[in-house]
Chains A and B, each alone.
Chain A
Amino acid sequence: MQKLHSKQQQWMPMLFLAPAVIMFAVYVILPIVQSIMLSFYEWDGLGEKTFIGLGNYIELFSDEQFWTSLKNNVYWMVFYMLAPPLGLAIALFLNQKVMGIRFVKSMFFFPFVISQVVIGLVFSWFYDPTYGLFNIVWTGMGFEPVAILSDENWVTFGIIAAGLWPQIAYCMILYLTGLNNLSPDQIEAARLDGAHGWKMLWHVILPQLRPATFIAIVVTVIGALRSFDLVATMTGGGPFGSSNVLAYFMYEQSIFNYRAGYGAAIATVLFLIMDIYIAYFLWRMLKSEKA
């Protein structure tokens, strides 16, 4: 019996792992390799593939659309970084025990649960040049009306603002949980030492919130690089490609322009950028695993 057991202990974990590993390998790991290989070919998605070496990448680096998309992705990352501090601000504001606060907290979180397609629709309408609330307020302040989503200079920021709405909600909930788990002893000790307000926040609270901050930053960066749904629903990358991002640019080239090889090259670049963050996350995660 004992013998059978130790044998079972050797192959059972493999059996437990098998379905997950097979699915993940077929649908995630293998496609990554295939996409990278495909990026060295010219392919319309149906016919013969032609090997062209670095041809797609050479073309990509002289493609203005690529640089616009990359620049917009940088804007997304920079402005998305407002989500963790704003989420923290709201969390601090709501971290009280008054009547109805539970309800208020969950309603604040609400935008995160809604599909980005719906958020895109809501905000397109918010920005409507004639009747949208944005322009009612904007002209009310004495400015000329702006058609945010058809203005090349504004459009990306308009979409980012829409994306920030659920992202702030997400960061807020991470921080609310973090605030719930603060060590009361440390806060009391700091209070006795005369710390309060900003000083307290900076030196006592924030260090304790570091795990929450770490997760908030990781999900925010990933969210910024993954931005697709909002661009697709609000502008389709327009006007004239000015609100394009790498994720949508790739989709556009592969599906609408039948350039699968070129699309794969765009995807590979996006993947390489993302890898920096993935590597950092893994490093942190495994480090805390060993500790």
Chain B
Amino acid sequence: MTAESLAFFFLAAFAVSTAILMVLQRNPVMSAICMIGTFFSLAGLYLLLHAQLLAVLQVVIYTGAIMVLVLFVIMLLNLGDEARLRERYDLAMGVGTVLAAGFVVELFFILFYSGDPALRASMDPRAAALGTVEGMGGALFGRFVLPFEMTSVLLLVAVVGAVVLAKRKG
């Protein structure tokens, strides 16, 4: 096992376990901190894929900006009463849990134990070039320029929607 695959398995395990912990935590602040762990390990995974810029952006934007916002929202909402987050258990939830578990097992089985030839064992040689600032810029303003521009429309609509739904009655 090479150092690279060791690092991959460590980061992947860390990402999955912090993601699960995030859902299981009762305290929203603890959930947010677990999410930071997931974001960090994702950044590490990007590094393994030679996507340096993506790794830096992941840390700066997600772990930095977005998580600070999430923490701010949690604190402003003042979720003092943690007991309120406790869930009720009933039949529908039981059925849902069984179905969800079945779905996960099914996915695992299909994706890991079927010996799929379609999954690429090795990395695309062009991937290393794509991970640089130049490569990302070329992709964003070349082939993906229209999706890139439409993303700004998407964000604008989300902002307008947040203002419309949240503003005081005037």
**A-B complex is real:** no
